[in-house]
Amino acid sequence: MVLTTCVFAVVLIGAVLALGGTGMCIDGGRLRERRTAQAGVRREWTTRVAELRDGGDGKLAKLEGTAVTDGGTLRAPFSGRRCVAYELTLFDFEGVRPVLLARVAVARSFLLRDDTGIAHVVPEPALVGIEPDKRWRFEADRVPTKLRALLDEHALGERWHHHPIVVCEGVIEVGGPVAAFGHVAREPFAAPPDQRVGNGGESPYRASGTRALLTGSLAVPLLLISG
């Protein structure tokens, strides 16, 4: 009986961690933003970038493709992966059910490329929903400086000072799949030199133009998830 109980506890803990604590941790309501973003994107039909070339400003659209840097990237705080967005969930892991201490989601602008073209995605404002795929556990007396800074900034109370901390991290990597749903617009765009063609030189008609822009608003934030 004791052995069965121990095995059940281990399985439960593993399941909680695998899910990043969603739905099974105390104060899991704070993960509502992740679930909202994922559900909002997945219920929409995908639009191809090429379909946005003929206007459509102001309408809402879902794009899916590959995340490409627009000149800058983020570094995931714990894995160091190059990404355009990351999500951290920090748990107090004293006992069977973890307590969610804080959730941190960060995203920056990037290019989304599908097989028909490229759109500029600007996640301002945005709801981010990224499933965690990496986890770390830190004992109370071995919390690294960067984790301590995150907890000081985002966690309420001081209970984490005395308990083990589990960090779950998920990212949208540069070169990885991504999906976004938001407002469509057009923005001025200067094509790179290698995409300008003409009679032996650059063509002014290909050197500048517009491209699709996907962004959010206060009423309808951009929804951003890993593809």
SS3 157: coil
Structure confidence at residue 141 (pLDDT): 86
Distance set, CA 215 to CA 8, 91, 121, 148 (Å): 45, 31, 6, 33
Q: Which residues contact 221 (CB under 8 A, 6 or more apart)?
A: 125, 126, 127, 182
Can you give the pLDDT of all 227 residues of the chain as single tens digits? 444 433 333 333 343 444 444 444 444 556 899 999 999 999 999 999 999 876 666 799 999 999 999 999 999 999 999 999 999 999 988 766 788 889 999 999 999 999 999 999 999 999 999 999 999 999 988 989 999 899 888 887 776 778 889 999 999 999 999 999 999 999 988 766 554 444 444 444 444 588 999 999 999 999 999 97
**Angle at alpha carbon of residue 173, lines to 168 and 178, rounded to 5°:** 100
Task: Give the pTM.
Answer: 0.80
Show the 3-state SS of 1-22: CHHHHHHHHHHHHHHHHHCCCC
CA dihedral 28, 33, 39, 44 (to 10 degrees): 180
Instruction: Please say whether the beta carbons of 176 and 130 come within 8 A.
Output: no
User: DSSP character for 123?
Assistant: -
User: DSSP character for 191?
Assistant: P
Distance set, CA 115 to CA 30, 59, 103, 104, 119 (Å): 36, 22, 34, 32, 11
**Angle at alpha carbon of residue 28, lines to 22 and 33, rounded to 5°:** 80
Structure confidence at residue 136 (pLDDT): 95
Q: Which two tokens stand for residue 138?
A: 């830190």
